[in-house]
Amino acid sequence: GDSVTQMEGPVTLSEEAFLTINCTYTATGYPSLFWYVQYPGEGLQLLLKATKADDKGSNKGFEATYRKETTSFHLEKGSVQVSDSAVYFCALRAPGSGGSNYKLTFGKGTLLTVNP
């Protein structure tokens, strides 16, 4: 079945440091790929997405490129801020338009803490 593997946390960085959170996936065909962010005490919010190979999703300074050859969707940000402290989830949705393709398969999440 489909699965998502993301780097174990927690990750602790100083403000303005470079961030990479690795994410690899297993799925048939070409899934859609997502990064969600969960701030303390809140629900998940979509951070960025990519729906086909070589697409780059970007938002709020974060970027991730859909790499079919390495089945990866690593999250990067050039200069993190204290306000980026949150849990980050990589997720995929299998291709197709049927109801059974509605499911999002999540990684286990990576806790990021950014210190001033």
Choose among 87, 57, 92, 95: nearest CA to 71. 92
Instruction: Return the residue of 14, 30, 46, 56 that touches other proteins, per CB under 8 A.
Output: 46
Closest approach of Cβ 54 to other proteins, in Å?
18
Choose among 88, 78, 107, 64: nearest CA to 11. 88
Choose among 87, 3, 2: nearest CA to 45. 87
Q: Is 60 in the site for other proteins (CB under 8 A)?
A: no
* Dist CA 5 CA 8 (whole Å): 9
Q: Is 108 in the site for other proteins (CB under 8 A)?
A: yes
Q: Is 101 in the site for other proteins (CB under 8 A)?
A: yes
* Dist CA 11 CA 92 (whole Å): 22
Q: Is 98 in the site for other proteins (CB under 8 A)?
A: yes
Q: 17 vs 87, which CB is nearer to other proteins? A: 87
Instruction: Return the residue of 49, 62, 80, 112 that touches other proteins, per CB under 8 A.
Output: 49
DSSP state of 72: B
* Contact residues for other proteins, defined by CB under 8 A: 4, 32, 36, 41-46, 49, 51, 89, 93, 97-104, 106-109
